[in-house]
């Protein structure tokens, strides 16, 4: 286990998590504001392998699974990483993808707050960034609840995103 909150534990992904990650990444509704959904299992396997490699090379950073403490059920995944997974960029980013059966339950807020606390405590950074599709109002609501402030637009990940920043308190 890497991190935990009252309701969930957040841990490194393993091969056993592939079916859930594939389910999420191949679902057009889940991926609507992130990137195009992918139907090819191999692409998701390659993405997961890149996440594992990044985590191994960058301790305390990565893409992690979110699991309910009460049942052990997969609830989504969250990332605490360098922007663009690029260690040469001295900016840290948080992001999350929650499984639809857990939408509206406050899990995105809960895990975002926990991962931000982890990034601030571990890396002593002054701020954390997050990006959303400009039309992704639910995600922007989550970031505002976590005290992020919208700072404008930024071209990242192949398109224009709304940029949010959380300053260390």
Is the pLDDT assigned to residue 159 strictly greater than 90?
A: no
Q: Which of 165, 164, 158, 167 is nearest to 84 (CA)?
A: 158
pLDDT tens track for 73-120: 999 999 999 999 999 998 999 999 999 999 999 999 999 999 999 999
pLDDT tier at 162 (50, 70, 90 boundaries)?
A: very high
Chain-centre distance for alpha carbon 38: 18
- Give the pLDDT score at 2: 87
pLDDT tier at 169 (50, 70, 90 boundaries)?
A: confident
- Give the pLDDT score at 157: 81
Average pLDDT over residues 63-76: 98
Domains belonging to the chain, first-starting first, are 3-167 (3.40.630.30)
Q: Which of 116, 167, 114, 162 is nearest to 140 (CA)?
A: 162
Triad 67, 59, 106: Cα angle to 5°: 30
- Give the pLDDT score at 155: 86
pLDDT tens track for 126-140: 999 999 999 999 999
pLDDT tier at 121 (50, 70, 90 boundaries)?
A: very high
CB 161, CB 132: distance < 8 Å: yes
- Give the pLDDT score at 18: 98
Mean pLDDT for all residues in the chain: 95
Is the pLDDT assigned to residue 168 strictly greater than 80?
A: yes
């Amino acid at each position: 286990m890497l991190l935990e909150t009252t309701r969930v534990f957040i841990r490194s992904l393993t091969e056993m998590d592939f079916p859930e990650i594939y389910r999420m990444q191949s679902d057009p509704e889940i991926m609507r504001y992130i990137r195009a959904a992918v139907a090819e299992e191999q692409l998701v396997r390659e993405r997961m392998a890149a996440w594992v490699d990044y985590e191994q090379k960058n301790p305390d950073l990565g893409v992690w699974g979110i699991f309910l403490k009460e049942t052990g059920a997969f609830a989504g995944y969250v990332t605490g990483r360098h922007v663009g997974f690029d260690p040469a960029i001295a900016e840290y980013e948080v992001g999350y993808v929650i499984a639809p059966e857990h939408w509206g339950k406050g899990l995105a807020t809960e895990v975002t707050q926990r991962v931000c606390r982890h990034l601030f405590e571990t890396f002593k950074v002054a701020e954390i960034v997050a990006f959303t599709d400009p039309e992704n109002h639910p995600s922007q609501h989550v970031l505002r609840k976590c005290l992020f402030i919208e700072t404008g637009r930024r071209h990242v990940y192949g398109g224009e995103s709304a940029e949010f920043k959380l300053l260390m308190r």
